[in-house]
Amino acid sequence: MADKNTINQSQHNAKKVLCAAYEAFATWHQQDASVRINTLTTALEFFRQSNRQSKDTQPKETFDKMAKWQLDNASKHIVEKQLMPGPTGEVNELSLQGRGVFLIRLLVAPSPTALEGLLGQVITALVTGNTVIIFGETGEDIVRKLSPFLGKDVIQHMPDSHFETLLTANEVAGVASICTHQQAQQLQRKLASRTGSLCRLIAETDEKTLGEIVQPHYVFNFVTEKTVSNNITAIGGNAELLALESE
């Protein structure tokens, strides 16, 4: 059994990784979505080539197909800002922003389909402007191949033993997992018991067909809306009234 000092050091390391991811989010999510898409497309190409050169290529032959589809889907839904005229003449500009730091963990056996879905979750979180901490041996492989193409601490890896520690941290904005229904319920209860900000759970509970991840709306789970209002009509109107009053 680990002693108290070892446990405290482990928790400190986990929080250090989380703080680094939180700081990286400030820069990563400010990049245009089109830039993130191009960056991740390049990273996935390297990922695919690395898998083809490895000895264990057969299970990973379609490993990146879901991830590529998520990039194509994101290019249709999150790149363009929407202009919405307001009732008083103002112009409201709606854009989609990342939520923050996401924890991603595979909780079922690492079948080829589950691994493909896991990478799809990682890419969806990243392309929408979030930073990622991924757990387990599979996560370590993903980070090793993607991180050279991304900014510092945009994607990081931690052992499974740190998952519970970070799950309750207020800096965590969301959790994505491929898991069973029972595991999803357990995660939801733990997140509901947190104090502070709400944390979004995005669970794929069908590891064979990935029925949730393949939906076009899936990308919206990872974002929040941001609206900027430009009310130049009201300013001009006020200036005109002042001019009339002075005559």
Asked which of 75-84, 110-119, 208-217 is least confident by mean pLDDT, the reply is 75-84
Burial of 164 (0-12, 13-18, 19+ CB in 10 A): exposed
Mean pLDDT of 110-117: 93
**All domains of the chain in start order, with CATH:** 11-77+97-230 (3.40.605.10)
223-230, strands of its sheet edge to edge:
82-85, 91-98, 223-230
200-204, strands of its sheet edge to edge:
155-158, 131-135, 101-106, 172-178, 200-204
Residue 21 has pLDDT above 90, yes or no: yes
Q: 144 with 172: CB under 8 angstroms?
A: no
pLDDT value for 243: 47
202, 184, 26, 185: which is closest to 121 by C-alpha? 202
Mean pLDDT of 87-106: 82
pTM of the complete model: 0.85
